[in-house]
Structure 1
Amino acid sequence: MSSLIRSHPLTAFFTLACALSWLGWLNYVLSNQGLGVIDTDYPAVLGTTQLLGVLPGAYLGPIGSALIVTAVTDGRAGLRAWAGRLFRWRVGARWYAVALLAVPAGLLVVGAVFAGGRIAAPTLLGAYLPVLVLQLVTTGLAEEPGWRDFALSRLQQRYSPLKSAAILGPVWAVWHYPLFLTDWAEGNRGWAGLLAFTVFCVSFNVVMSWMFNRTNESLPLSMLMHVSVNTFVSVLWPDLFPSLAGVAIPVMSVGSVVAALAIIAVTRGRLGRPAVERPSVPAERHAAPLHSR
């Protein structure tokens, strides 16, 4: 098993991330909050069953798999490098503004367009920051050390940034699929919701890749950008756009596709990753003179 992981670290990570999380979610999927196969109810904590139903499997998957595969393939040195990006907070202030404000601003614009300019006053604005912090240590910490810190970093060592994003985005989406059988996907179940969510993951992963590269692979900034989406949609979206409550994911996917295409165009597909400089080769080479003894 160790030899197999060393030979195919990315395949091993993707397989373990999905397998461990899906195993951790199995009881939740079968419970009354899912398919109702077993007569089990998950209690609501802070108004949601997801903390007890989703979070254990989320922690088992991406971050747990990244820890296992890094330890097997790179040992202690690799673990230090992997964990080091988690504490890479020293990034320009403008990138914190992008992570914290650009996503809500973008969602506000796209929501207003689809709502015909009708924006209601938010009643839970004071809950935004506490929920953001909670999301940071739950969703952000569970996912980003795996998807971006481990997978994206390794993918970009082998492939172009755009190809790396194209590989990671669908896997990130598929990892979520079992949750569409539970109340996690309330209002977005069915093939239409699944397709819209997949489009969102694939396109928003381009945005996340750009942020990761532009901030020198700072994991905290990736976490902040990720949870900015979750927090805005869960706290502010229902109040701001009551007419769009049931179509949040499709609307978000449109905005995400526009943002991804803009980033691809502006960066020419580099997604913020510096081009590798190749050593210059002289235009003309002269044969070395032959010396006779």
Structure 2
Amino acid sequence: MSSTAQWVRQHRLTSFFVLAYLVSWLPWAFDAAGLSLGTPFFPGGPLVAALVVIAFADGRRGFRELGARLVRWRVGWIWYAVALGLPVLLVLTTGVLMWVLGAPAPDLSAIVWADVALVLAFRMVNPADSALGEEPGFRGYALPHLQDRLSPLAAAGVLGVLTAGWHIPLVALGNLGWIGLPSTVLIAFLYVWLFNRTGGSLLMTMLFHASQGALTFGMLGSTGAYADRAAYVYFGVLVVAVAAVLGLDRASWRRAPESATDAEPEPVAARR
């Protein structure tokens, strides 16, 4: 084994996060220097990082494990409803609260649900989109390794902060309001809860992520200043949702199921 492969194997998580940030942020650096690479931010960095680290550190076993998580679909219909419906419910709840606070009533008749389904499907297969670009790396690869060392609660907090930090260029570019960063930390807890409750199904977290961006505040009629306010209300809705899963399902936060951790733990000597 080469010295590079040995180092990556001993520092899987460090290698993954450094590479995920580097691949996604590099276009931002070039763009700031006036040398455009076609996009100022590449959402597929976590996917690329996971594949590279697996190739160096885990080989076929790692690819088989990631693939198995991706096709883990026998989880019960209720979890499909959660993965697809919870993001929609969060947005609709935000729209209703905005209406209560004085915004125009959500225009549900304006939503073309066929278009929502089409966007969701496209996000599942487009590596330059967040669902396929992020989930195999953040939840499919990093989370099982984090949960091999930490409780699900601690792993969710660490992963939430690191994924929020990864989004910083989007704030600088004006594509994401600053409130999106703490919202990203919070929603990580919902991803971890869904991942663990479905036995480590990457498919469920991808469906959740795709659904999260398929229905937007704009589709409910919240545009301009109302859309900006909606982001803050959405943060409050997330606080309640996360508090609910933490308080009502306490057992799931103590220990992750074996199927949602690294299937082949690293030697103790390698965990530095």
Letter in 2 for 1:78: G
| Segment drifting more, 97-106 vs 167-176 | 97-106
RMSD value, Cα:
2.5
Aligned to 1:98: 82
Q: Kindly tell me: are residues 77 and 274 of structure 1, through their superposed partners in 2, closer, same or farther at Cα, counting changes over 3 Å?
A: closer
Q: Distance in 2 between matches of 1:242 and 1:6?
A: 48
Aligned to 1:217: 200
1:131 to partner: Cα distance: 1.2
Preserved CA contact (<8 Å) 1:211 1:222: yes
Name the residue aligned to 1:165: 156
1:102 CA displacement: 2.0
Matches within 5 A, 1:1-293: 1-27=4-30, 29-30=31-32, 38=34, 53=39, 57-59=42-44, 61-116=45-100, 118-125=105-112, 126-137=114-125, 138-185=129-176, 188=177, 194=178, 196-233=179-216, 236-237=219-220, 239=221, 244-268=226-250, 270-271=252-253
Moved over 6 A (4+): none
- In the TM superposition, residue 120 of structure 1 has moved relative to its aligned partner by 2.5
Q: Computing the radius of gyration over CA atoms, which structure comes out larger, 1 or 2?
A: 1
Q: Tell me the CA shift for residue 26 of structure 1.
A: 3.4
Higher relative contact order (CA 8 A, sep 6+): 2
Q: Could you list the per-position Cα deviations for residues 108-141 of structure 1 after superposition, in whole angstroms to 9, with x for gaps in the alignment?
A: 1233113217322442424211111122223211
Which amino acid is the alignment partner of residue 18 of structure 2?
A: T
Deviation at 1:176, TM superposition (A): 0.9
Instruction: Classify 1:201/1:92 alpha carbon distance in 2 versus 1 (closer, same or farther; 3 Å).
Output: same
User: Scaled by the length of structure 1, what TM-score is found?
Assistant: 0.76
Q: How far, CA to CA, are the matches of 1:275 and 1:267 in structure 2?
A: 14
- Contact 1:121 / 1:240 at 8 angstroms: preserved in 2? no
Distance 2:40 2:211 in 1: 19
1:20 is displaced (CA, Å) by: 1.2
Distance 1:272 1:122 in 2: 43
Rounded Cα–Cα distance in structure 1 between residues aligned with 2:16 and 2:55: 12
Tell me if the contact between 1:122 and 1:236 (Cα under 8 Å) persists in the aligned partners.
no
1:34-88 superposed Cα distances (whole Å, 9 cap, x missing partner): xxx6396x9xxxxxxxxx6267x222x1011111112222121121111221122
TM-score scaled by length of structure 2 = 0.82
Contact 2:153 2:254 in 1 (8 A): no
1:121-179 deviation digits (Å, cap 9, x = unpaired): 44242421111112222321110000001011111111100000010001101101112
- Inter-CA distance 136–21: structure 2 relative to 1 (3 Å threshold): same
* Residue 240 to residue 215, structure 1, CA distance change in 2 (3 Å): same
- Asked if 2 retains the 8 angstrom alpha-carbon contact of 1:115 and 1:243, the reply is no
Inter-partner Cα distance in structure 2 for 1:5 and 1:104: 39
Partners of 1:101 and 1:157 lie apart in 2 by: 29
Task: Give the superposition deviation at 1:242.
Answer: 7.1
What letter matches 1:214 in structure 2? R
> Aligned-pair distance for 1:264?
1.0
- Helix, strand or coil at the partner of 1:58: coil
